[in-house]
Structure 1
Amino acid sequence: MISPTALNGRRIAVTRAREQASELSTRLAGLGAEVIELPLITVRKSIDLDLLHEVLSELGSYDWIVLTSANGVRYFLEEFYRVFDDIRSLGLLRFAAVGDATAQAIRAYHLKVECQPKGATAEALADDLIATGSLDSAKVLVITGNLNREVLVTKLEEARAIVDRLQVYATEKTDLSQEPAAADFRSRGADAILFASSSAVQSFVDQAAALTLAKDAKRPLAGSIGPQTSETMKQCGMPIDFIAKTPSLDALIEALVKKLGK
């Protein structure tokens, strides 16, 4: 169990979207940390309404619905409930999820997750779905954002699934040049900075001018939530000082505490 004073006196920078940062920030503050929120990305609903209508009108024909983020769960089900007033309208759809956060978001709607790989990657999810033996000629709906990689859809189609994609949100970079928190980060630095997505890593690199530390500022240790985020950090030439054992906030906090405790 992590001590409630484990992060006393530590400054931790959180790079999640503003609407997603509160849970992580609250938990870090509860361990005694001073939290600096640097919302490097913003997430907004973004849906082609004609495509949405087409998907919802054929919802009963799908065998699987695949969700790769909690944002996808939220925005898809918001639209579902806007059109339908009964959860039974989902019919016999089976749900697949990447990662604990996505699975928890699905279960919050009292829906069962029937496929969740141990490794929270698109490749692992595709492999686990293929291993069910249910994909030959099956109709699969993949809920995406604007930055989702093609590997999941490609592997499912190679397994002879009929795959439809529905984008329900867009992830965009934010401009932190005028943010007071960014000025504070530049002047004082932090003990650690946490990255929970590849898009946040890319935005951090792209906004180097707005985030370059002063000469006497503390250089933070950089933490990654999982394999895909780590891969992007490596591609951008960023150091990785610690990585969560599993792609979850619990594991990220645990890795942070362990690293700073050394």
Structure 2
Amino acid sequence: MDLPLKNKLFISTRPAGRSDEMKNLFESAGAELLEMPLIKIEPLSISAEEKMLVKNIEMFDWLILTSANGVHYFFETYNNITDKQKLPGHLKIAVIGNKTQQKLEEYGYSPDFVNPGNTAEDFSEAFLKHLQKEKQHPDILLALGKLARTVIQDALTDIANCTRIDFYTTVIPEKVDPNILKRIEEDRYEMLIFTSPSGIKNFLKISGTQQPEKLRVACIGEITARTAIENKIEPFVVAEKATANGLADAIINYYN
């Protein structure tokens, strides 16, 4: 049996409970994956004005959901503040990536537009072309996280009326396993795995490392890799596909 990552130890920094798929992929390749969550997802309270927009969601033509977290916290808010059983039938839903689509389907909805890529830039380019075939200046609700960039609304500003509501945010967890931090300090690991810019920033705050350039890291996409480079960390691996499978494949290819 081919085990390309045999006896190698990796450290995932994904939020608690989000590393199961990655753990299975790495273990099937012979590696050990430790979990050191550096991001905690929390819901945000929205303003009275934003609650009115959610209650009157029928005024929108499109709902854009960019992550599984966005899906979860949008519906959690929607179900809490309205007595409506379903979204209005005319409302179309656009999502980024298969994970977001799968989460949406758990709530009983199928997207009308699924972005072929996994970044806001990919989405904006493809969705812009899609909208140009439809009515002029549709009203769009973007359900995002507080730290999400403004790429989508900036790209659509000339052809749509975009309203952004932040439904969740990411924070540093209260506790981080000191044994794993010690392992990193003593260089007893293969690579640190980062799946978001926040993970990198939080690690640097928590660890207080004075030599970030010596870290061995793998990043799930170009945006995360860019944040690493900005902080003097040169990624060993950058996955082209921003998924657990894409990251595992990229790391295996690196060792091959």
Alignment TM-score, normalising by the size of structure 2:
0.86
Structure 2 residue ranges without an equivalent (≥5): none
Separation of aligned partners in 2, 1:169 and 1:131: 29
Give the AA of the match of 2:194.
F
Give the AA of the match of 1:151.
V
Asked if structure 1 preserves the Cα contact closer than 8 Å seen for 2:3 and 2:30, the reply is yes
Structure 1 residue ranges without an equivalent (≥5): 214-218
Residue 182 (structure 1) aligns with: 181
Identity %: 22
Residue 115 (structure 2) aligns with: 117
Residue 250 (structure 1) aligns with: 245
Residue 191 (structure 1) aligns with: 190
Give the AA of the match of 2:19.
A
Asked if structure 2 preserves the Cα contact closer than 8 Å seen for 1:195 and 1:225, the reply is yes
Separation of aligned partners in 2, 1:94 and 1:255: 35
- Any residues of structure 2 matched to 1:191-230 within 5 Å, and which? 191-209=190-208, 221-230=216-225
Give the AA of the match of 1:173.
I
Asked if structure 2 preserves the Cα contact closer than 8 Å seen for 1:224 and 1:230, the reply is yes
Give the AA of the match of 1:192.
M
RMSD of the alignment, in Å? 2.5
Give the AA of the match of 1:154.
D
Q: 1:26 to 1:90 in 2, by over 3 A?
A: farther
Moved more, 23-32 or 142-151: 23-32
Q: How many angstroms does 1:149 deviate by?
A: 0.8
Q: How many angstroms does 1:135 deviate by?
A: 6.1
2:98 equivalent to 1:103: no
2:236 equivalent to 1:237: no
**How many equivalent pairs are there?**
252
2:148 equivalent to 1:148: yes
Q: How many angstroms does 1:211 deviate by?
A: 9.1
1:15 corresponds to which of 13, 16, 19:
13
Separation of aligned partners in 2, 1:18 and 1:211: 26
Give the secondary structure class of the aligned counterpart of 1:116.
Answer: strand
Per-residue displacement from partner, 1:144-172 (whole Å, max 9, x unpaired)? 1110111211221122x111111111111
Residue 158 (structure 2) aligns with: 158
Separation of aligned partners in 2, 1:210 and 1:175: 19
Asked if structure 1 preserves the Cα contact closer than 8 Å seen for 2:2 and 2:29, the reply is yes
Per-residue displacement from partner, 1:84-120 (whole Å, max 9, x unpaired)? 4633x33221111222322222233332222233332
Give the secondary structure class of the aligned counterpart of 1:174.
Answer: coil
Give the secondary structure class of the aligned counterpart of 1:113.
Answer: coil
Per-residue displacement from partner, 1:3-29 (whole Å, max 9, x unpaired)? 674433110110111142333234323
Give the secondary structure class of the aligned counterpart of 1:153.
Answer: helix
Give the secondary structure class of the aligned counterpart of 1:167.
Answer: strand
Q: How many angstroms does 1:220 deviate by?
A: 6.0
Give the AA of the match of 1:250.
N
Give the secondary structure class of the aligned counterpart of 2:186.
Answer: helix
Give the secondary structure class of the aligned counterpart of 1:65.
Answer: strand
Q: 1:244 to 1:178 in 2, by over 3 A?
A: closer
1:55 corresponds to which of 35, 53, 56:
53
